[in-house]
């Protein structure tokens, strides 16, 4: 649970001031020379994470930027636990048809049973706690027929996927307080209330696809691909409110199927079909250089985001379409010992599926986004002893129309209407403007063995871990470096590796969740770790 920012920089909602004036001060003036706004800030935005709210801006986002002073410690009131079992069975069949065609069949059956419980805040009060019990099954079948001639290569096929999820999710903490108030309960008088979400999601997808590559000349190739996809999903979702210690049980407080039928809505279903495609032109300049220009249209179907106090209007989000344009080259030089690849790209998202905290409820809503950038990668093997890789990436992203919490019911029983309902000009999550990655490896044969030393790493510029770009989700620039030393016999049957990950013991966030006035949480990546790995290949 991240520290709180400076209350002097916080937005003070008028609802807080009204509550302070009417309830705390009972209409009397604030003490000393404080204004009502200053006194309200002192009451609601004190440094204590157990007694006060987090300072936020006008969009309801936390304003604290930085790291926790103890990134690898937490003070949770109960321990998380996960038990997961998966079984996957795959059958692959390859059939050669004459000299020019082949048929491939891939069949898979997969099932998963999961129990997961987690204290999502890291402090000894129930800000947010989740428990999930889920059974998931999946069946898929793919068929591909491919062939080639002197100047033409092609593949056609079909794909079918069927999935079923049955789950129960138990939520405790702040998201439950709003539900309790709506039902006429005082959350402070209930011991440990919870919302139980019971849902079944049936999902199926079928698609047909094909791609061809035509060599117009020895140096010019056209690639054309097309895929038609049909998505069908149906969700049964029912929530109930319970507080076992007080014997409170309120069943079926929200029934998605019944609510959709009553409103004449189809928000309990997804019926989506669309096409994806690829168009690319390759031009070979001599024997060592390939240049290309491409357009790809990608699709992602709509889906559901069930949570504790979700409603009919925000449980479903629409499909996403990506238009990706790219120009690049691949070249070899130094007698084939070095390879240089580079590309410039522009991504244009329609209805980008953005994670939001709308109405204080974790959900997904559609926005629009773009991302423009460039990448270059060098691979160099000066001798058979050395391997050197270096990559650089530049990106500039923008997302418009991201929903904020908007109106949020506070745990003390009254709603807050944030002035900013939508955000524009924010960055895509996990998208640093600048990053560098590298790998240097040296190996040598000696004493009937091979010794290899490798150093690799990556550096990222500042980035946000959530699309809201709240202060608590900012990860400042950092670098991670790893080292490994490997000994192996010349027959490569026995291998022993000593390794160190996160060599400089860098502290950085792997995940963050901005809960607005409830604060922000962060999960940190592992600190420096070292170990020894041994293997024998029979």
3-state SS track over 138-182: EEEEEEEEEEECCCEEEEEEEEEEEEEEEEEEEEEEHHHHHHHHH
Task: Judge whether residue 360 has pLDDT over 80.
Answer: no
Beta strands in 359-406 (DSSP E): 363-380, 386-403
Distance CA 523, CA 321 (A): 31
The percent of residues in the chain predicted with pLDDT above 90, rounded, is 76
Each residue's pLDDT tens digit, 367-387: 999 999 999 999 999 999 999
Residue 108 in contact with residue 88, Cβ under 8 Å? yes
Q: What predicted TM-score, i.e. pTM, was given to this entire model?
A: 0.92
For Cα atoms 231, 237, 364, give the angle at the middle one, nearest 5 degrees: 60
Q: Give the model's confidence band at 307: pLDDT under 50 very low, under 70 low, under 90 confident, else very high.
A: confident
pLDDT band at 525 (very low <50, low <70, confident <90, very high): very high
Give the angle 11-14-19 at the CA atoms, nearest 5°. 120
C-alpha distances (whole Å) from 497 to each of 351, 444, 532 are 46, 15, 6
What mean pLDDT value characterizes the chain? Answer: 93
First to last CA, the chain: 48
Please give the Cα distance from 237 to 420 (Å, whole number): 31
β-strand partners of 292: 282, 328
Given a cut of 90, whether residue 505 has pLDDT beyond it is: yes
Give the pLDDT band (50/70/90) at residue 491. confident
pLDDT band with cut points at 50, 70 and 90 for residue 357? confident
What's the rounded Cα separation, in Å, for the pair 312 and 257? 9
In this predicted structure, what is the pLDDT of residue 190? 86
Rounded to an integer, what distance in angstroms lies between the CA atom of residue 77 and that of residue 75?
A: 7
Q: Do 355 and 303 touch, CB atoms closer than 8 A?
A: no
């Amino acid at each position: 649970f991240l520290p709180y920012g400076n209350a002097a920089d916080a937005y003070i909602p008028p609802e807080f001031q009204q509550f302070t004036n009417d309830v705390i001060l009972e209409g009397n003036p604030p003490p000393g020379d404080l204004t009502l706004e200053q006194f309200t800030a002192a009451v609601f935005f004190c440094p204590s994470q157990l007694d006060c709210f987090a300072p936020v801006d006008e969009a309801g986002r936390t304003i604290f930027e930085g790291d926790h002073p103890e990134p690898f410690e937490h003070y949770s009131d109960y321990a998380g636990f996960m038990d997961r079992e998966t079984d996957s069975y795959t059958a692959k069949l390859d059939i050669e048809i004459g000299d020019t065609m082949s048929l491939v069949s891939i069949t898979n059956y997969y099932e998963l049973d999961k129990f997961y419980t987690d204290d999502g805040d890291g402090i000894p009060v129930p800000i947010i706690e989740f428990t999930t019990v889920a059974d998931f099954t999946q069946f898929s079948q793919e068929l591909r027929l491919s062939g080639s001639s002197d100047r033409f290569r092609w593949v056609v096929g079909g794909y079918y996927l069927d999935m079923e999820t049955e789950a129960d999710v138990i939520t405790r903490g702040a998201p439950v307080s709003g539900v309790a108030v709506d039902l006429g309960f005082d959350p402070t008088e209930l011991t440990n209330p919870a919302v139980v979400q019971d849902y079944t999601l049936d999902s199926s997808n079928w698609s047909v696809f094909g791609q061809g590559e035509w060599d117009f000349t020895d140096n010019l190739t056209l690639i054309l691909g097309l895929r038609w996809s049909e998505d069908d999903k149906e969700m049964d979702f029912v929530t109930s409110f319970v507080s076992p210690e007080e014997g409170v049980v309120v069943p079926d407080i929200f029934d998605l199927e019944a609510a959709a039928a009553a409103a004449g809505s189809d928000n309990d279903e997804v019926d989506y079909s669309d096409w994806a495609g690829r168009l690319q032109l390759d031009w070979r300049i001599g024997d060592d250089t390939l240049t290309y220009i491409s357009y790809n249209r990608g699709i992602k179907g709509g889906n559901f985001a069930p949570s504790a106090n979700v409603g009919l209007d925000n449980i479903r989000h629409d499909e996403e379409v990506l238009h990706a344009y790219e120009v690049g080259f691949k070249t070899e030089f130094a007698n084939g010992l070095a390879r240089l690849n580079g590309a410039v790209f522009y991504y244009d998202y329609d209805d980008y599926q953005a994670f939001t905290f709308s109405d204080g409820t974790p959900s997904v809503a559609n926005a629009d986004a773009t991302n423009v950038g460039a990448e270059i990668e060098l691979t160099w093997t000066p001798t058979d002893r050395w391997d050197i890789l270096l990559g650089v990436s530049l990106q500039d992203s923008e997302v418009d129309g991201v929903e904020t919490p908007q109106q949020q019911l506070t745990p003390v029983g009254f709603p807050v209407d944030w002035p900013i309902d939508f955000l524009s000009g924010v960055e895509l999550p996990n998208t640093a403007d600048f990053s560098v990655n590298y790998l240097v490896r040296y190996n040598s044969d000696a004493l009937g063995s091979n010794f290899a030393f490798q150093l690799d790493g990556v550096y990222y510029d500042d980035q946000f871990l959530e699309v809201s770009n709240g202060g608590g989700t900012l990860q400042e620039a950092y670098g991670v470096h790893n080292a490994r030393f490997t000994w192996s016999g010349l027959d490569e049957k026995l291998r022993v590796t000593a390794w160190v990950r996160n060599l400089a013991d860098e502290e950085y966030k792997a995940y963050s969740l901005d809960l607005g006035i409830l604060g922000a949480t962060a999960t940190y990546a592992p600190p420096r770790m070292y170990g020894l790995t041994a293997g024998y290949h029979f």
